[in-house]
């Protein structure tokens, strides 16, 4: 009798332990199931896969499933986003705009179906070739030092160049959203303009007026008398400054050869003049009288008058 009681007690103990183990296992399984999430992953090629995971973020779930993104790929949601049960992870190209639309929807912004479809518009690429002018530069060469009486002379005319630029342009809804330079090709090099700054030639007389040579005569006899003014035709300049440094004055100034010193007073045809100027064409017995205008010089023409030195 005692043996039967002991056997019954043992069986009861075994049953109790088994029940406890079953209950403990069930609770563990329920805890595991409560932490697991059913997540769908959609690859860029459209392939879908469902995974059961305990990971929290997109990057952890992808790493758990040995999925590595390419440089031009991204995920929706992004890699640091936490994932909840039943959520979808989509792998797509970086140019895909679903993220922006999702944000608009999440923020509750009122929008029309047409506006949403615009955001889904595909991105198109075009190769565009443009020709662009390369402006020439102006190079100045100074050959005068610090001299202020200068003029510019163009040694070489400038000419613009031309280059061809190839762009890759991205459009969405016919609006340019990105422009990238692919290549540049110079079709024609620019030609620089070269300007030389040169000193003005200081001449007191020009040789533009018609002259004829004459035989030298002694003082008190007849000289060949012509006239000049301060224009560029007569003097090659317009300053009116004489070779002696004075300002040329009508009725006083004459240009004579070096046999007459500056300041020499001359009686020419009964009128007194002062030698203040020189000239390349004024040699020997030839004298140029200064007048106010070029027309007056032409009107004077050529005269032969007696000349004598005044003491």
pTM of the predicted model as reported, rounded to 2 decimal places: 0.32
**Residue 129 in domain:** yes
**Residue 19 in domain:** no
Same domain, 67 and 107: yes
Same domain, 294 and 243: yes
Domain termination residue (choose one: 168, 199, 230): 199
Residue 175 belongs to domain with CATH number: 2.20.230.10
**Residue 269 in domain:** yes
Expressed as residue numbers, the domain containing 129 is 123-199
Predicted confidence pLDDT, tens digits, the chain (311 residues): 455 565 566 666 677 667 766 666 655 545 445 578 898 999 988 888 888 998 889 999 899 998 888 888 899 988 998 988 889 999 988 877 654 444 444 455 555 656 666 666 788 888 988 888 889 888 877 666 555 666 777 878 888 889 999 999 888 877 888 889 999 899 989 988 888 777 665 555 544 444 433 333 345 678 889 999 988 888 777 788 898 889 999 999 999 988 889 999 999 888 899 999 988 788 888 899 999 888 888 888 888 888 888 87
Place of tokens 């100074």: 142
**Residue 89 in domain:** yes
Q: Per the structure, how many domains does the chain have?
A: 3
Same domain, 106 and 142: no
**Residue 24 in domain:** no
**Residue 205 in domain:** no
Domain termination residue (choose one: 67, 86, 119): 119
Same domain, 88 and 109: yes
Domain termination residue (choose one: 56, 89, 119): 119
**Residue 148 in domain:** yes
Give which of 202, 225, 217, 200 is closest to 290, Cα–Cα.
Answer: 225
Same domain, 298 and 234: yes
């Amino acid at each position: 009798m005692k043996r039967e009681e002991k056997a019954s007690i043992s069986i009861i103990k075994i049953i109790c332990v088994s029940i406890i183990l079953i209950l403990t296992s069930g609770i563990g399984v329920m805890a595991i199931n409560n932490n697991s999430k059913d997540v769908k992953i959609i690859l860029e090629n459209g392939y879908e896969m469902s995974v059961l995971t305990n990971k929290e973020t997109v990057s952890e779930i992808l790493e758990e499933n040995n999925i590595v993104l390419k440089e031009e790929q991204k995920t929706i949601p992004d890699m640091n986003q936490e994932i909840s049960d039943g959520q979808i992870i989509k792998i797509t190209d970086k140019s895909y705009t679903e993220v922006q639309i999702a944000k608009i929807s999440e923020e509750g912004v009122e929008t029309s179906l047409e506006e949403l479809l615009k955001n889904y518009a595909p991105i198109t690429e075009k190769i565009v070739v443009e020709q662009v002018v390369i402006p020439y530069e102006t190079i100045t060469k100074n050959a005068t030092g610090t001299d202020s009486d200068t003029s510019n002379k163009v040694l070489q005319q400038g000419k613009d160049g031309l280059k061809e630029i190839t762009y890759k342009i991205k459009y969405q809804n016919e609006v340019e959203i990105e422009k990238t330079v692919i290549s540049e090709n110079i079709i024609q090099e620019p030609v620089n303009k070269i300007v030389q700054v040169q000193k003005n030639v200081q001449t007191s007389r020009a040789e533009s007026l018609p002259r004829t040579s004459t035989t030298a005569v002694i003082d008190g006899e007849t000289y060949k008398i012509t006239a000049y003014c301060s224009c560029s035709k007569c003097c090659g300049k317009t300053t009116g400054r004489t070779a002696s440094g004075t300002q040329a004055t009508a009725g006083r100034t004459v240009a004579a050869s070096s046999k007459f010193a500056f300041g020499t007073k001359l009686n020419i045809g009964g009128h007194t003049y002062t030698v203040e100027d020189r000239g390349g064409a004024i040699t020997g017995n030839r004298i140029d009288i200064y007048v106010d205008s070029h027309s007056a010089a032409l009107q004077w023409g050529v005269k032969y008058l007696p000349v004598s030195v005044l003491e």
